[in-house]
């Protein structure tokens, strides 16, 4: 339980403030009474932290004019590491009008010079202009799991640690970060944060599992059996997993249930492939026996995004495990919870230690460490194109590790005048507002042939008004909140750009409500190709509609982008559909549908939308390397 309540120090009452809802252990308090004119310089205090015993330990409050310096002195802080110490916090309370009004000031108490495991002195400056100051110092601890209550399944046990070698452990540096509920903007919990040291430990575990132990000795069919078991466990826990997606991602529970069904299907699909990765014999001359085989690459680093947390987790791990690799996977910092639960299910399914390691971390720290790591053989990333460039650069500058990148998009959704307009509108709505527009293949550029343009815009506006935006746990909700404050601000920034560039807001363009990261579904018209909203990936519920004359014009417009992930065509003319699909520079083209993804169909981009393909048989090539063996029979 958080350490809260009324504390008496020299009869000076102060109410503490909760910090991250984490368990607290008091290290000491010092302070002056209101009626004293001199601030006491030293008060001895003993910690009540059980793992430290009773070392010589003192908290010092020094009057320094307009500021106070608090210094803890005692033995090495390594003594605290046994209980997953994450941080210190010092809180100064300056009574402005004793006894009812206080001005709190909270600052982190960080090592002043030495590294954490060697430091004997911690200090911080408390900016307080009053001498009558109370100072309280606490240690904040983060457990390896916590209980979270969901409206669908009640309470469940949520892992918080780093999943390494089939165990949940604390990070080496004792760091953590908060997970925010995008619906309420409140903290759900905190999770342990992986740093470079934790990446090293996870990679070592994966390397050992790849080279030793039961994993490399397993028959391919045994790997497939483990994947089938994992798929069964995911189905058994499907409502829980879908609910976790709605909790930390904010997606509609209805959409989340669809995600989890696809998760189980994807794992089963690759379980079936495990014993079907075949080699071949190639004859060159009578006294030579030549054969070609496909071997696993080795240790794979995988970095997944926040828009489909568990589904992207599965797209990455399933083909890698089916082909015999081991994995270190980093979740997105916004949405780590679901993957940690699936990691626990993987252990239950029987995967050996070190085969699948799942860490929560920040991209610039843990993700960068993985991309640069000399003992990771391959890195797979789904996310933005700028980050993809950095990962590719890091892979080249380290050990030339193999790279698969599934990156951004700015997909054209083309409606010809012979299309079924109502069906086209339904698919256009699904194409852009599915998953709150947070989809790399979102149909954000809608091109409508001029003969039906005005009618399409009006009917599209009517259709959008039927979209229910709100509580993701309401089964009627179609669109929940955006995933984070950062993403909310980014999308609203693009909306502002669209307005200032002269585009017309047909509907939406505003925040919905005053709580949660909700944005009204938005349509821009009167757009020009050079506008920012037509060129850059917005990754939100924002569509831009433009008109075109004929096939030649719309092909030029559709291809006028640095991206090439997906495109769609709506027409009753099959020849026109085939012609257009052949000329559009995109990895996937849908005809009279949108977002028709399936685990058997390869998915990936042209141009700056990525390298390699996810899903289907094609994904197996991402995780295997070809070996030729030639035997002299003479």
- Taking the CA atoms of the chain, what radius of gyration do you get in angstroms? 28
* Candidate list 138, 193, 406, 537, residue with the active-site label: 406
Regarding pTM above 0.85, the answer is no
Residues in the chain: 634
The answer to whether residues 416 and 390 belong to one domain is no
Q: Choose one of 382, 406, 430: the last residue of a domain.
A: 406
Q: What is the pLDDT, as a whole number, of residue 11?
A: 25
The answer to whether residues 83 and 209 belong to one domain is no
More confident residue, 34 or 203: 203
The answer to whether residues 385 and 420 belong to one domain is no
pLDDT tens-place string over residues 355-413 = 999 999 999 999 999 999 999 999 999 999 999 999 999 999 999 999 999 999 999 99
* Within a domain: 261: yes
The answer to whether residues 202 and 259 belong to one domain is yes
The answer to whether residues 388 and 461 belong to one domain is no
- Among 133, 150, 103, CA closest to 43: 133
Q: What is the pLDDT, as a whole number, of residue 138?
A: 43
* Within a domain: 631: no
- 19 phi/psi in degrees, rounded to 5: -125, 110
Q: What is the pLDDT, as a whole number, of residue 410?
A: 97
Q: What is the mean pLDDT of residues 292-321?
A: 98
The answer to whether residues 450 and 583 belong to one domain is yes
* Within a domain: 227: yes
pLDDT tens-place string over residues 196-236 = 999 999 999 999 999 998 999 999 999 999 999 999 999 99
Catalytic, 178? Answer no
The answer to whether residues 119 and 166 belong to one domain is no
**Domain tally, the chain:** 3
* Within a domain: 621: no
Backbone angle region of 212, left / alpha / beta, with phi > 0 → left and psi within -120 to 50 → alpha:
beta
* Within a domain: 1: no
CATH assignment at residue 541: 3.40.309.10
Indicate whether 28 pLDDT > 80: no
Which residue range forms the structural domain that includes residue 75? 6-141
Under 8 Å between Cβ of 535 and 503: no
The answer to whether residues 134 and 257 belong to one domain is no
Strand partners, 13: 8
Q: Choose one of 387, 406, 425: the last residue of a domain.
A: 406
Q: What is the pLDDT, as a whole number, of residue 634?
A: 86
The answer to whether residues 325 and 456 belong to one domain is no
pLDDT tens-place string over residues 120-174 = 333 333 333 333 344 444 444 678 999 999 999 999 999 999 999 999 999 988 8
- In DSSP notation, 432-474 reads HHGGGG--TT---EEEEETTTHHHHHHHHHHHHTT--BS-TTS
Q: What percentage of the chain carries pLDDT values higher than 90?
A: 76
Indicate whether 5 pLDDT > 70: no
CATH assignment at residue 354: 3.40.605.10
* 619-623: Cβ within 8 A, 24+ apart: 619/270, 619/315, 619/319, 620/273, 620/277, 620/294, 620/319, 620/322, 620/323, 622/319, 622/320, 622/378, 622/380, 622/402, 622/404, 623/296, 623/297, 623/300, 623/319, 623/320, 623/322, 623/323, 623/325, 623/378
pLDDT tens-place string over residues 64-95 = 333 333 333 333 233 333 333 333 344 444 43
CATH assignment at residue 22: 2.60.40
More confident residue, 552 or 102: 552
The mean of the pLDDT values for the chain is 83
How many whole angstroms separate alpha carbon 611 and alpha carbon 599? 18
Under 8 Å between Cβ of 554 and 532: no
Helix intervals (H) in 536-633: 551-558, 574-583
Q: What is the mean pLDDT of residues 535-561?
A: 98
More confident residue, 54 or 502: 502
Indicate whether 482 pLDDT > 70: yes
* Within a domain: 591: yes
The answer to whether residues 135 and 160 belong to one domain is no
Q: What is the pLDDT, as a whole number, of residue 173?
A: 84
* Within a domain: 611: no
The answer to whether residues 595 and 494 belong to one domain is yes
Indicate whether 119 pLDDT > 60: no
* Within a domain: 27: yes
Q: What is the pLDDT, as a whole number, of residue 137?
A: 43
The answer to whether residues 376 and 446 belong to one domain is no
Strand-pair category, 299-303 with 24-31: unpaired
Q: What percentage of the chain carries pLDDT values higher than 70?
A: 78
Q: What is the pLDDT, as a whole number, of residue 141?
A: 62
Q: Choose one of 120, 141, 162: the last residue of a domain.
A: 141
pLDDT tens-place string over residues 586-615 = 999 999 999 999 999 999 999 999 999 999
Under 8 Å between Cβ of 187 and 246: no
């Amino acid at each position: 339980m958080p350490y809260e309540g009324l504390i008496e120090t020299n009869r000076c009452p102060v109410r503490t403030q909760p910090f991250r809802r984490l368990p607290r252990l008091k290290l000491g308090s010092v302070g002056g009474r209101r009626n004293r004119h001199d601030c006491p310089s030293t008060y001895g205090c003993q910690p009540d932290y059980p793992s430290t015993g009773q070392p010589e330990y003192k908290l010092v409050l020094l009057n320094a004019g307009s500021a106070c310096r608090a210094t803890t002195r005692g033995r090495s802080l390594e003594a605290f590491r046994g209980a997953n110490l994450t941080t210190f916090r010092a809180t100064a309370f300056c009574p402005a009008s004793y006894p009812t009004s206080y001005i709190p000031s909270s600052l982190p108490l960080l090592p002043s010079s030495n590294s954490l495991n060697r430091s004997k002195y911690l200090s911080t400056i408390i900016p307080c202009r009053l001498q009558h100051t109370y100072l309280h110092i606490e240690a904040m601890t983060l457990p390896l799991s916590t209980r979270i209550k969901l409206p669908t399944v009640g309470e469940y046990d949520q892992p918080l640690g780093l999943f390494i070698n089939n165990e949940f452990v604390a990070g080496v540096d004792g760091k953590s970060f908060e997970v925010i509920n995008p619906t309420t903007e409140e903290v759900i919990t905190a999770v342990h944060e992986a740093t470079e040291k934790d990446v090293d430990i996870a990679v070592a575990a994966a390397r050992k599992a790849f080279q030793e132990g039961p994993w490399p000795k397993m028959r391919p069919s045994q790997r497939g059996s483990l994947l089938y078991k994992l798929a069964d466990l995911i189905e058994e826990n499907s409502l829980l997993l879908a609910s976790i997606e709605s909790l930390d991602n904010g997606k509609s529970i209805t959409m989340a249930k669809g995600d989890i069904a696809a998760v189980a299907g994807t794992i089963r699909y690759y379980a079936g492939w495990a014993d079907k990765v075949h080699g071949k014999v190639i004859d060159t001359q009578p006294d030579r026996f030549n054969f070609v085989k496909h071997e696993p690459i080795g240790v794979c680093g995988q970095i997944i995004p926040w828009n489909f947390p568990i589904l992207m987790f599965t797209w990455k791990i399933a083909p890698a495990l089916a082909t015999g690799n081991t994995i270190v996977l980093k979740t997105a910092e916004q949405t780590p919870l679901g993957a940690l639960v699936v990691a626990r299910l993987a252990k239950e399914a029987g995967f050996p230690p070190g085969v699948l390691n799942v860490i929560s971390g920040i991209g610039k720290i843990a993700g960068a460490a993985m991309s640069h790591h000399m003992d990771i053989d391959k890195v797979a990333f789904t996310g933005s194109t700028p980050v993809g460039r950095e990962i590719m650069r890091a892979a080249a500058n380290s050990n030339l590790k193999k790279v698969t990148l599934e990156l951004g998009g700015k997909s054209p959704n083309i409606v010809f005048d012979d299309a079924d307009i109502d069906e086209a509108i339904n698919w256009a709505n699904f194409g852009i507002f599915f998953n709150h527009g947070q989809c790399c293949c979102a149909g954000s550029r809608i091109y409508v042939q001029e003969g039906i343009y005005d009618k399409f815009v009006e009917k599209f506006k009517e259709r959008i008004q039927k979209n229910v935006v709100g509580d993701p746990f309401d089964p009627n909700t179609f669109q929940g909140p955006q995933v984070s404050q950062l993403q909310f601000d980014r999308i609203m920034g693009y909306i502002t750009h669209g307005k200032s560039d002269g585009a017309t807001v047909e509907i939406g363009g505003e925040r919905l409500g005053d709580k949660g990261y909700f944005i009204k579904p938005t349509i821009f018209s009167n757009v020009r190709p050079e506008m920012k909203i037509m060129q850059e990936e917005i990754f939100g519920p924002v569509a831009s509609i433009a008109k075109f004359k004929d096939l030649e014009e719309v092909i030029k417009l559709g291809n006028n982008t640095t991206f090439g992930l997906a495109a769609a065509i709506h027409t009753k003319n099959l020849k026109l559909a085939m012609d257009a699909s052949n000329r559009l520079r995109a990895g996937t083209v849908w005809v009279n549908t949108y977002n028709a993804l399936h685990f058997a169909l390869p998915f990936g981009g042209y141009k700056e939308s990525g390298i390699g393909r996810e899903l289907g048989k094609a994904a197996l090539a991402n995780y295997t390397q070809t070996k030729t063996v030639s035997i002299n029979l003479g």
